[in-house]
Amino acid sequence: MDQIPVIDLKGLAGDDDERSRTMAKLHEACRDWGFFWVENHGVEAALMEDVKRFVYAHYEDHLEKKFYASDLAKNLNHAIAGDVSGEADWEATYFIQHRPKNTAASFPDIPAAARHALDAYIAQTISLAELLADCISLNLGLHTAAAGAAVREAFAPPFVGTKFAMYPACPRPELVWGLRAHTDAGGIILLLQDDAVGGLEFLRVGGGGDGGEWVPVGPTKGGRMFVNIGDQVEVISGGAYRSVVHRVAAGTEGRRLSVATFYNPGPDAVISPATATVAAEYPGPYRYGDYLEYYQGTKFGDKDARFKAVKKLFG
Ligand SMILES: O=C(O)CCC(=O)C(=O)O
Residue-level pLDDT at 62: 95
The Cα–Cα gap between 55 and 197 comes to 15
HSE, side-chain direction, 13 A CA sphere, residue 157 = 4
Task: For a ligand 1 pocket test, name from 52, 89, 179, 299 the mutation site with the most ligand atoms within 8 angstroms of its C-beta.
Answer: 179
Q: How far is CA 281 from CA 80, 106, 130, 274, 312, in A?
A: 43, 42, 27, 12, 12
Q: Which of 35, 223, 12, 200 is nearest to 121 (CA)?
A: 223
Q: Which of 185, 193, 274, 267 is nearest to 227 (CA)?
A: 193
Instruction: Provide long-range contacts, Cβ within 8 A and 24+ apart, for 205-210.
Output: 205/242, 206/32, 207/1, 207/2, 207/32
Tens-level pLDDT at each residue, the chain (315 residues): 579 999 999 999 999 999 999 999 999 999 999 999 999 999 999 999 999 999 999 999 999 999 999 989 988 877 766 666 667 899 999 999 999 999 988 887 899 999 999 999 999 999 999 999 999 999 998 865 555 688 999 999 999 999 999 999 999 998 999 999 999 999 999 999 999 999 999 999 876 656 789 999 999 999 999 999 999 999 999 999 999 999 999 999 889 999 999 999 999 999 999 876 665 689 999 999 999 999 999 999 999 999 999 999 998
CATH numeric code, 6-275: 2.60.120.330
Q: Decide whether any atom of ligand 1 lies within 6 Å of the 201 Cβ.
A: no
Q: Decide whether any atom of ligand 1 lies within 6 Å of the 248 Cβ.
A: yes
Q: Which of 280, 86, 91, 260 is nearest to 185 (CA)?
A: 260
Residue-level pLDDT at 276: 63
* Threshold 0.85, pTM exceeds: yes
